Structure 1
Amino acid sequence: MSKITRHETNPVLSNAVEYHGFVFLAGVTAQDLSADVVGQTQQVLAKIDELLENHGTDKTRLLQAQVWLKDIRDRDALNGVWTKWLPEGGAPVRACVEANMADPRHLVEIMVTACR
């Protein structure tokens, strides 16, 4: 049986889970909540880069992304940052939906799965 490794676990969630060469990240949000959706998206993607590297992979190995926006009308602004961040030809499968956020100052949250 393959080992499941959970990182930064608390009673509610793990911030990352590794299993059989896959890395599953929890939803990532911005630190500076005064930023607009472009700024928050840039922060989130930079954090995802860091987390993926910490777990032995990178954005060229993305398989799936789930994106939550506070306001779906911000999708074009998010996509402007997203497409510049992605490696050419490396877009994962993705869902992008509008959602009520746990903290209303959060404008975007992104969760990804990558492989090594």
Structure 2
Amino acid sequence: MSKITRQGSNQILSTSVEYHNFVYLAGITADDLSKDITGQTEEVIAKIDAALENNGTDKTRLLTAQIWLKHITDRDTMNKVWVKWLGDDGRPARACVQAEMADPRHLVEIMITACR
């Protein structure tokens, strides 16, 4: 039987799950909810980088991204941060939608699947 590795687990979820060299990240949000969409996106991306590194991979190995925005009108601003972060490598298949957030102060949530 193949091993499943979980990190950052609590009663509800794991921050990441790795199986057969695929890494699945939970939806990641900012901790500092006083930040605007740029600041929250930068914080989320830094947390994604750290989670990917903890699983032995990086942003050049992204497969999919799901992005939820509180306000779809923030898409262009969020994309400026996103494009700068991605660079020329690792562009995943992606969805970006407006959603009601669990905490109304959250402006963005990003969920990633990558490979090792």
TM-score (norm 2): 0.96
**Which amino acid in structure 2 is aligned with residue 111 of structure 1?**
M
Question: Residue 59 of structure 1 contacts residue 87 of structure 1 at CA under 8 Å; is this kept in 2?
Answer: no
Q: CA deviation at 1:6?
A: 1.6
State the match for 2:57 in structure 1. 57
Distance in 1 (CA, whole Å) between partners of 2:16 and 2:83 is: 24
Alpha-carbon deviations, 1:49-83, whole Å to 9, x = none? Answer: 01110110000100000000000010000000000
Letter in structure 2 aligned against 1:49: D
**Residue ranges of structure 1 left out of the alignment (5+ in a row):** none
In the alignment, residue 110 of structure 1 is paired with which amino acid?
I
Identical positions, percent:
69
Structure 2: where are the runs of 5+ without partners? none
Partner of 1:9, secondary structure, is coil
Aligned to 1:77: 77
In angstroms, what is the RMSD of aligned CA positions? 0.9
What is the number of equivalent residue pairs in this alignment? 116
Could you give the per-residue CA deviations for residues 12-67 of structure 1, whole angstroms, max 9, x where no partner exists? 11111000001100011011101100110000001100111011000010000000
Query: What is the Cα deviation at residue 90 of structure 1?
Result: 2.2
| 8 Å contact from structure 2 (residues 60, 89) kept in 1 | no
